[in-house]
């Protein structure tokens, strides 16, 4: 499917790449881009061949993952339009978070506002050492509306999150790493290959196992420990119904690589 502001590429080994492609606007998320990203991720979710996804920003005049929600579109929004915009942005982020396959944000430059919120919805965040990450909404007189006020404190803790949210000041990739906001930092030229390598490793694992393990960790983190442990047990039982479990354990015993079919 052809999009205007999004590029999707499927590679061998079960990895798909998604580029936000609005270079003139530093890949800012206008409504059309949010719609296209939602459709693109819907397609990747339905594609059993795809086992891991990398989300990154297309090359722009300054390196950008996504420089935010589109400020021009928000300038005249009414409260009802703002609510709908927030809901659409949140729905995209939730779709990514619940994709059932890991999504790696390869943060290749500015990840500001909606751009950081998009990265926060991904399962892993790798950053270029030149990247800048932040939630500058309050400097514009608005608040984060694509989940940033909720996901950031859950990821890095309330204290550091409040500093980022209230000052609106961005942090460097190194500082983001120190805060636990990004998993790893690479030289800019090595970022995509590092993300690919990680995505391929994930894609070689049992896809149902990866999906259920993510689900246990993500849902479980919103539960009490007792509830989370009980949920884990149910998923551990469910995985015993899969061919993949039999294949994975048998392959180990037969000293050969497993050939998972996602069933
Ligand atoms: N929404 C809409 N357009 C944006 C944008 C955004 N979030 N971020 C950048 N752009 C556009 C600029 O308006 C400019 O468009 P133009 O060439 O038609 O005038 C183009 O992208 C290049 O941006 P520019 O500001 O000229 O680049 P810069 O190198 O001087 O500054 C930034 C880069 C990222 C510091 C600056 O663009 C910026 O602060 N962007 C907004 C970041 C933000 O507040 N995001 C959160 C929004 S909720």
Pick the closest to residue 57 from 1, 114, 142 (CA basis). 114
Q: Residue 124 pairs with which residues in a beta bridge?
A: 104
Q: For ligand 1, what atom is nearest to the CA of residue 64?
A: 34
Together in a domain, 94 and 157:
yes
C-alpha 128 – ligand 1 centre gap (Å): 19
Domain for residue 262, yes or no?
no
Any idea what DSSP says for residue 79? H
Domain for residue 227, yes or no?
yes
Together in a domain, 142 and 104:
yes
Together in a domain, 142 and 248:
no
Ligand 1 pocket: which of 20, 23, 28 to mutate (most atoms <8 Å of CB)? Answer: 28
Domain for residue 259, yes or no?
no
Any idea what DSSP says for residue 219? H
Domain for residue 261, yes or no?
no
Q: So what's the pLDDT on residue 4?
A: 97
Cβ atoms of 162 and 138 within 8 Å: the answer is no
Q: So what's the pLDDT on residue 1?
A: 74
Residue nearest to atom 8 of ligand 1 (CA): 67
Question: Which residues sit with their C-beta closer than 6 Å to ligand 1?
Answer: 25-26, 28, 62, 67-72, 110, 112-114, 136-137, 140
Cβ atoms of 145 and 89 within 8 Å: the answer is yes
Together in a domain, 194 and 225:
no
Together in a domain, 88 and 51:
yes
Exactly one of 117, 169, 232, 234 is catalytic; name it: 117
Domain for residue 190, yes or no?
yes
Distance CA 192, CA 125 (A): 12
C-alpha 132 – ligand 1 centre gap (Å): 13
For the record, the structure tokens of 118 come out as: 């998009």
What DSSP string describes 4-34?
SSEEEEEETTTEEEEEE--GGGTT-B-HHHH
Residue written as tokens 């993500």? 218
C-alpha 25 – ligand 1 centre gap (Å): 6
The predicted-structure confidence for 5-38, as pLDDT tens digits, reads as follows 999 999 999 999 999 999 999 999 999 999 999 9
Residue 252, class by beta-carbon neighbours within 10 Å (0-12 exposed, 13-18 middle, 19+ buried)? Answer: exposed
Together in a domain, 111 and 188:
yes
Together in a domain, 231 and 183:
no
Together in a domain, 59 and 135:
yes
Q: So what's the pLDDT on residue 229?
A: 98
Together in a domain, 218 and 130:
no
- Host domain of residue 235: 207-253
- Strand segments (E) across 33-123: 52-57, 64-66, 103-107, 110-112
- Structural element, H or E, at residue 193: helix 191-203
Exactly one of 39, 76, 97, 137 is catalytic; name it: 137
Together in a domain, 219 and 175:
no
Domain for residue 154, yes or no?
yes
Pick the closest to residue 163 from 147, 176, 177, 145 (CA basis). 176
Residue written as tokens 């391929």? 200
Together in a domain, 195 and 214:
no
Residue 116, class by beta-carbon neighbours within 10 Å (0-12 exposed, 13-18 middle, 19+ buried)? Answer: buried
Together in a domain, 103 and 124:
yes
Domain for residue 258, yes or no?
no
Number of compact structural domains in the chain: 2
Ligand 1 pocket: which of 25, 93, 169 to mutate (most atoms <8 Å of CB)? Answer: 25
For residue 195, the tally of other CB atoms under 10 A from its CB is 27
Pick the closest to residue 239 from 118, 231, 39 (CA basis). 231
pLDDT by residue for the chain (263 residues), tens only, comes to 789 999 999 999 999 999 999 999 999 999 999 999 999 999 999 999 999 999 999 999 999 999 999 999 999 999 999 999 999 999 999 999 999 999 999 999 999 999 999 999 999 999 999 999 999 999 999 999 999 999 999 999 999 999 999 999 999 999 999 999 999 999 999 999 999 999 999 999 999 999 999 999 999 999 999 999 999 999 999 999 999 999 999 999 999 999 999 99
Residue written as tokens 């693109």? 40
């Amino acid at each position: 499917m052809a999009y205007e502001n999004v590029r999707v590429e499927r590679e061998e080994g079960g990895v798909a790449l998604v580029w936000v492609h609005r270079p003139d606007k530093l890949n800012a998320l206008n409504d059309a881009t949010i719609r296209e990203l939602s459709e693109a991720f819907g397609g990747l979710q339905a594609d059993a061949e795809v086992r891991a996804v990398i989300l990154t920003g297309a090359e722009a005049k300054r390196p950008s993952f996504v420089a935010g929600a589109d400020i021009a579109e928000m300038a005249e929004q009414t409260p009802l339009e703002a609510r709908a915009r927030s809901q659409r942005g949140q729905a995209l982020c939730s779709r990514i978070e619940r994709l059932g396959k890991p999504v790696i944000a390869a943060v290749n430059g500015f990840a500001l506002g909606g751009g950081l919120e998009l990265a926060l919805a991904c399962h892993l965040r790798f950053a270029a050492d030149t990247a800048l990450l932040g939630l500058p909404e309050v400097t514009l007189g608005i608040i984060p509306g694509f989940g940033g006020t909720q996901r950031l404190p859950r990821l890095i803790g309330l204290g550091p999150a409040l500093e980022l949210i209230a000052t609106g000041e961005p942090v460097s990739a190194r500082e983001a790493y120190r805060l636990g906001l990004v998993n790893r930092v690479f030289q800019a030229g090595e970022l995509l290959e590092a993300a690919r390598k990680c995505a391929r490793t994930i894609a070689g694992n049992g896809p149902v196992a990866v999906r259920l393990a993510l689900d246990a960790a993500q849902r479980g983190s919103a539960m009490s420990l007792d509830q989370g442990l009980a949920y884990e047990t149910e998923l551990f039982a469910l995985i015993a119904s899969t061919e993949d479990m039999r294949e994975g354990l048998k392959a180990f015993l037969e000293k050969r690589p497993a050939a998972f079919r996602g069933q």
